[in-house]
Amino acid sequence: MAGSAFKDGIAPGRLEPTQYAANFADLHPPLARHEALVEADRCYFCYDAPCMNACPTSIDIPMFIRQIATDNPMGAAETIFSQNILGGMCARVCPTETLCEEACVREEAEGKPVKIGQLQRYATDIAMEAGRQFFTRAEPTGKRIAVVGAGPAGLACAHRLAVKGHEVVVYDARPKAGGLNEYGIASYKTVDGFARAEVDYVTAIGGIAIELGQRLGESFSLDDLRARYDAVFLGIGLGGVNALKAEGEDAEGVRDAVDFIAELRQADDLSDVAVGRRVVVIGGGMTAIDAAVQAKLLGAEDLTICYRRGKQEMNASQFEQDLAASKGVTIRHWLSPRRVLTQGGKVVGLELEYMQLVDGRLTGLGHTMTIPCDQVFKAIGQTFEPRSAEGLALVGGRIETDGQGRTSREGIWAGGDCIVGGDDLTVTAVAQGRDAAESIHRFLAAAS
Amino acid sequence: MADLTTHFVGIKSPNPFWLASAPPTDKAYNVERAFKAGWGGVVWKTLGEEGPPVVNVNGPRYGAIWGADRRLLGLNNIELITDRALQQNLREIKEVKMKWPDRALVVSIMVPCEEESWKAILPLVEETGADGIELNFGCPHGMSERGMGSAVGQVPEYVEMVVRWCKQYTRMPVITKLTPNITDIRKPARAAKAGGTDAVSLINTINSITAVNLDTFAPEPSIDGKGTHGGYCGPAVKPIALSMVSEIARDPETFGLPISGIGGITTWRDAAEFMALGSGTVQVCTAAMTYGFKIVEEMATGLSNWMDEKGYAGVDDFVGRAVRNVTDWQYLNLNYVTKARIDQDLCIKCGRCHIACEDTSHQAIRKEKDGKRFFEVMDDECVGCNLCVNVCPVDDCITMVPVAPGLVDERTGRVVSADYANWTTHPNNPMAKAAEPAE
Ligand SMILES: Cc1cc2nc3c(=O)[nH]c(=O)nc-3n(C[C@H](O)[C@H](O)[C@H](O)COP(=O)(O)OP(=O)(O)OC[C@H]3O[C@@H](n4cnc5c(N)ncnc54)[C@H](O)[C@@H]3O)c2cc1C
Ligand SMILES: Cc1cc2nc3c(=O)[nH]c(=O)nc-3n(C[C@H](O)[C@H](O)[C@H](O)COP(=O)(O)O)c2cc1C
Ligand code: SF4
């Protein structure tokens, strides 16, 4: 055991140096050619395929699988990328068990859907590794569009605009492009710098300039952009986090889960990332699971996810829950945080109240329990920071758009997590970015 | 326990499963392994005449096509007859027959189409104590260029002539192995019978090119950039072989002529089907070459269990039982009406039946009900063609249900008749005759 395995508090280097690579290896290793052919052969090539309808980007799944089956992975990649230019990332991070694979008729037939995500990865990997570009730009239109946010929504929008012949400048506040692909997605879902490689692949089409370290609301305003560009797209995601509303929330050792994941994703050496010996994660979604699993993989001894409602209400899919359980994470339900216990300003425990549904309303039972811990992660949802969307109509704290992604201001579109109806999925952000680009293109064509 | 013993043209074997003349039977080593594994008999790899043996190519001799998971569906080869010395083969045949007296050992022969050549080799084979001979009139590559194999099998007069010589110069039973590379298989079968053959065996391999290499633009298998057609065999050829067997079995001129069925036999069920169409024994090559000799265990136990279930004590109880049900199209009952039925509990809603019917057939399967994905047959459009049954990925999900006589066929609006009526008497047939029964 490494030196700090049993060290109380929050410490780096809890594992043997060699163990990090094994712990953070690819969750689903890629399919080899024969595996892909065998799996592709399981597809029934359904009529009006349910999987395709379940995909937010409507990839022609039976077609790309048939192309794989006939040993034409390049054709398959083209089919995928023509609907979803981030098909490579989506193949890795989509909760397929609640999307295409849930709809697969094989799921109904035998409980074993075709491994659509894995097949998508097979084809897109081949094309991307070969550096094969499938799209060429239309004649230059002379139009310039500003895209704010280099996450999935912004990148998908920029790519489609570039295809149409427009010039795109993408601004992002962070030092790296990719959005949550780069900073948020669990590291075992996107290994070997894939997020970075994908940004390069997407921008290789040309006509897309990325300006990093440029924050809307600081470096420039919406009005500036509107004045300098023919159109603006906002794909700025969710910048804020919900508050715990528990006493002692500011203690040392209470941390935003998304922050922790970002640190981990950006670490050059995982043994530098500090983690508690006993950790509690608050929340019931994908972020809670990702934070818990990665903290466990970093060597935390005890990991408990506490969710204030029941198993059925958890946003994390069954697959994600099972993954957490398989890594030794305990998931507890009907517990809501009340008080962070500290000693010398440091976390030593978390007091939680038992909850119940009373007449359909979540109600505290008045009884509490305490979990000793040295670190608490908050994964109770992110919020939109409205500062950057000055002057745009919001609903429920997110930007309001119509079906094409148009905001309340002419010439400004938005998509992804920052809009109403963004459902916190990479693939949905891609679909919205792409569709907004089409709308922008129609708008610019009509204007000229 | 059913008795699998067969008596075929006077040759007894403990079961009907013989290995066809091919690499698995090219030498004592293989044949003994086969007998140990339980094969009832073998047809020794084809012998040629005395003298320097033929030579094979030194590059790839097989090509193939595959199904899912690289399951071998069809194999083709450009191998010739045995490339070992005649005397060595004869010596081994004799030894093996002595060691395994209860197994059938038939020797395949191919020599030039001259009386002297046949007259010379027959006593040599007879001397080994082999149970019979098989005349290889089927090999479609290489040997046929030299006037042997299928070059003989394609000319009924030659077939008859050679069979006659053989019957004249040996007391051994003669099995004539036919080539499928011919338009009407009945012609060479009739010729063989006319020449006095004791049995026919079929099929030998079918002319084939399995693939073209799209980098070198050479057929597969290619030898130094060139290829030639090979002989096709394996599961893919079974339907062709079954049809040819049935044609001979029901031809009035060859009716009752013993048949050894060959072509794509891979499981006990395949074997039973060949036997039901009149094969007294069956021969296997590709299946053994794909999986090894052990498959005979599955074949023997499978056949035996099925016979027990059906109450057949011996193979004669069912050999040929399907022959009388093979008829000409013109005698099929046109008053028999079926409709497809989809079992909604089994349906997984893939929609393949719908799109197959909609795009390519009769527009008889709807895809929606109450705004939901739902597949249902419309009886007023369904012609009962069976395409949906064949494309449905779920066993027994779609079945063909006969419409009982007396009910109305919603498609035609006519009451279904209980009477048999075929094309020969149909009003639309300009050649219609007065009603006559099926053959
Ligand atoms: C921890 C975690 C795990 C997740 N795991 C999955 C998963 O496995 N599968 C899945 O489908 N989804 C997952 N998601 C959700 C998914 O990451 C998001 O839905 C998706 O990234 C949304 O894309 P986006 O482009 O709208 O926003 P983001 O990816 O958030 O990108 C927004 C970009 O805008 C930039 N930005 C923000 N404000 C400004 C500003 N004012 N000026 C300039 N730039 C700005 C940000 O720096 C960022 O680069 C996860 C989310 C989290 C937090
Ligand atoms: C490699 C190979 C060599 C063969 N050689 C002979 C042969 O020498 N003589 C012969 O009569 N048939 C020969 N055959 C044909 C087989 O005996 C058999 O008729 C044919 O393969 C069909 O049976 P199957 O589908 O079980 O393989 C050969 C087949 C193969 C695959
Ligand atoms: S082909 Fe079979 S499983 Fe598919 S929709 Fe039709 S009946 Fe249902």
Q: A312: how many CB neighbours lie within 10 A of its CB?
A: 6
Q: How far is A29 from chain B (nearest CA, A)?
A: 20
Distances (CA, A) of B326 to B186, B338, B439: 15, 20, 9
Considering the domain boundaries, does residue A109 fall inside one? yes
User: Of A158, A154, A190, A157, whose CA–CA distance to A173 is shortest?
Assistant: A154
Considering the domain boundaries, does residue A198 fall inside one? yes
What ipTM does this complex have?
Answer: 0.77
Q: Beta partners for A355? A: A364
Residues A216 and A289 in one domain: no
Ligand 2 pocket member B108 (CB < 6 A): yes
Ligand 1 pocket member A283 (CB < 6 A): no
Q: Beta partners for B377? A: B365
- Whether residues A48 and B348 touch (CB distance < 8 A) is answered with no
C-alpha–C-alpha distance, residues B436 and B424, integer Å: 8
CB A287 within 8 A of CB A258: yes
- Whether residues B350 and A48 touch (CB distance < 8 A) is answered with no
Strands B174-177 and B199-202 come out as parallel
Residues B357 and B312 in one domain: no
**Mean pLDDT over residues A337-357, rounded?**
94
Residue A434: the pLDDT is 98
C-alpha–C-alpha distance, residues B297 and B174, integer Å: 28
Considering the domain boundaries, does residue A137 fall inside one? no
Q: How confident is the model at residue A385 (pLDDT cuts 50, 70, 90)?
A: confident
User: Of B303, B143, B337, whose CA–CA distance to B231 is shortest?
Assistant: B143
Spatial CB neighbours of B223, under 8 Å, sequence gap ≥ 6:
B57, B59, B60
Considering the domain boundaries, does residue B439 fall inside one? no
Which residue in A has a C-alpha nearest to residue B349's C-alpha?
A105
Residue finishing a domain among B325, B344, B372 = B325
Ligand 2 pocket member B138 (CB < 6 A): yes
Considering the domain boundaries, does residue A286 fall inside one? yes
- Residue B371 sits at the chain A interface (C-beta within 8 Å): no
Residues B292 and B378 in one domain: no
DSSP for B179-243, please give it: PS-SS-THHHHHHHHHTT-SEEEE---EEE--EEETTTTEEES-BTTB---EEEESGGGHHHHHH
The catalytic residues of B are 139
Which residues of chain B lie closer than 8 angstroms to A102, CB-CB? none
Q: How far is B103 from chain A (nearest CA, A)?
A: 41
In a 3-state reduction of DSSP, which class is residue B259?
A: strand
Residues A260 and A183 in one domain: no
Count structural domains, chain B.
2
- Whether residues B393 and A108 touch (CB distance < 8 A) is answered with no
Question: Which parts of chain B sit beneath pLDDT 50?
Answer: none
- Residue B348 sits at the chain A interface (C-beta within 8 Å): yes
Residues A283 and A331 in one domain: yes
Query: For A296-316, what is each residue's pLDDT tens digit?
Result: 999 999 999 999 999 999 999
C-alpha–C-alpha distance, residues B154 and B135, integer Å: 13
* pTM of the complete model: 0.85
Residues A84 and A202 in one domain: no
CB pairs under 8 A between A and B: 36
The ligand minimizing its distance to the Cα of B365 is: 3
Residues B248 and B345 in one domain: no
Tokens 């010395």 locate to: B85
Which of B174, B204, B237 is the pocket-test mutation for ligand 2 (most atoms within 8 Å of CB)? B204
C-alpha–C-alpha distance, residues A367 and A305, integer Å: 19
Residues A390 and A373 in one domain: no
**Mean pLDDT over residues A322-335, rounded?**
96
Residue A358: the pLDDT is 92
Residues B68 and B196 in one domain: yes
Ligand 2 pocket member B264 (CB < 6 A): yes
Distances (CA, A) of A417 to A83, A320, A398, A401, B268: 19, 21, 8, 12, 60
Considering the domain boundaries, does residue B197 fall inside one? yes
Considering the domain boundaries, does residue B433 fall inside one? no
Considering the domain boundaries, does residue B308 fall inside one? yes
Residue A349 belongs to domain with CATH number: 3.50.50.60
Q: A244: how many CB neighbours lie within 10 A of its CB?
A: 19
C-alpha–C-alpha distance, residues B183 and B381, integer Å: 37
Residues A298 and A364 in one domain: yes
- Residue A309 sits at the chain B interface (C-beta within 8 Å): no
Considering the domain boundaries, does residue B295 fall inside one? yes
Q: Is the backbone peptide bond immediately before B112 cis, with ω within 30 degrees of 0? A: no
Residue A76 belongs to domain with CATH number: 1.10.1060.10
C-alpha–C-alpha distance, residues A420 and B149, integer Å: 78
Tell me how far the alpha carbon of residue A383 lies from the centroid of ligand 1, in angstroms.
Answer: 11
CB B200 within 8 A of CB B260: yes
User: Of B236, B250, B246, B310, whose CA–CA distance to B275 is shortest?
Assistant: B246
> Where is pLDDT greater, at B381 or A244?
B381
CB A433 within 8 A of CB A153: yes
Q: What is the DSSP letter of A178?
A: S
Residue B89 belongs to domain with CATH number: 3.20.20.70
Spatial CB neighbours of A189, under 8 Å, sequence gap ≥ 6:
A27, A92, A93
DSSP for B90-139, please give it: HHHHHHHHHH-TTSEEEEEE---SSHHHHHHHHHHHHTTT-SEEEEE---
Residue finishing a domain among A83, A102, A129 = A129
Residues A65 and A14 in one domain: no
Residues B114 and B41 in one domain: yes
Residues B359 and B317 in one domain: no
In a mutational test of the A interface, the residue from B348, B361, B388 whose CB has the highest number of chain A CBs within 10 Å is B348
Ligand 3 pocket member B350 (CB < 6 A): yes
CA angle A22, A25, A26 (to 5 degrees): 155
Residues B158 and B306 in one domain: yes
Reduced DSSP (H G I as helix, E B as strand, rest coil) percent helix, strand, coil of chain B, to 5: 35, 20, 45
In a 3-state reduction of DSSP, which class is residue A383?
A: strand
Long-range Cβ contact pairs of A268-272 (< 8 A, separation 24 or more):
A270/A20, A270/A24, A270/A298, A271/A12, A271/A13, A271/A15, A271/A17, A271/A20, A272/A12, A272/A13
C-alpha–C-alpha distance, residues A240 and A391, integer Å: 19
Q: Which of A1-10, A72-81, A358-367 has the lowest mean pLDDT?
A: A1-10
Residues A161 and A234 in one domain: yes
Q: A206: how many CB neighbours lie within 10 A of its CB?
A: 12
Considering the domain boundaries, does residue B410 fall inside one? yes
- Residue A392 in tokens: 């745009």
Instruction: To the nearest 10°, report the CA torsion of B295, B297, B299, B300.
Output: 160
Which residue in A has a C-alpha nearest to residue B350's C-alpha?
A46
Residues A371 and A392 in one domain: no
User: Of A129, A174, A179, whose CA–CA distance to A156 is shortest?
Assistant: A179
Considering the domain boundaries, does residue A364 fall inside one? yes
Q: A49: how many CB neighbours lie within 10 A of its CB?
A: 23
Residues B162 and B125 in one domain: yes
Residues B220 and B74 in one domain: yes
Query: For A400-420, what is each residue's pLDDT tens digit?
Result: 999 999 999 999 999 999 999
Ligand 1 pocket member A185 (CB < 6 A): yes
Considering the domain boundaries, does residue B434 fall inside one? no
Pick the residue whose CA is nearest to atom 33 on ligand 1: A149
Residue B394 belongs to domain with CATH number: 3.30.70.20
Residues B258 and B355 in one domain: no
C-alpha–C-alpha distance, residues B11 and B129, integer Å: 12
Residues B287 and B386 in one domain: no
Residue finishing a domain among B291, B325, B359 = B325
Query: For A269-300, what is each residue's pLDDT tens digit?
Result: 999 999 999 999 999 999 999 999 999 999 99
Tell me how far the alpha carbon of residue A184 lies from the centroid of ligand 1, in angstroms.
Answer: 7
- Residue A352 in tokens: 């939680």
Structural domain boundaries enclosing A94: 33-129
Residues A268 and A357 in one domain: yes
**What is the identity of the amino acid at A410?**
E
Residue finishing a domain among A129, A159, A183 = A129
Residues A206 and A260 in one domain: no
Count structural domains, chain A.
3
Considering the domain boundaries, does residue B368 fall inside one? yes
Considering the domain boundaries, does residue A136 fall inside one? no
Quote the crossing angle between the two packed helices B186-194 and B238-250, to the nearest 10°.
Answer: 50
Q: B312: how many CB neighbours lie within 10 A of its CB?
A: 19
Residue finishing a domain among B284, B303, B325 = B325
Instruction: To the nearest 10°, report the CA torsion of B233, B235, B237, B241.
Output: 110
Q: Beta partners for B106? A: B43, B132
CB A156 within 8 A of CB A88: no
Residues B100 and B123 in one domain: yes
Structural domain boundaries enclosing B236: 6-325
Residues A287 and A367 in one domain: yes
Considering the domain boundaries, does residue A138 fall inside one? no
In a 3-state reduction of DSSP, which class is residue B265?
A: coil
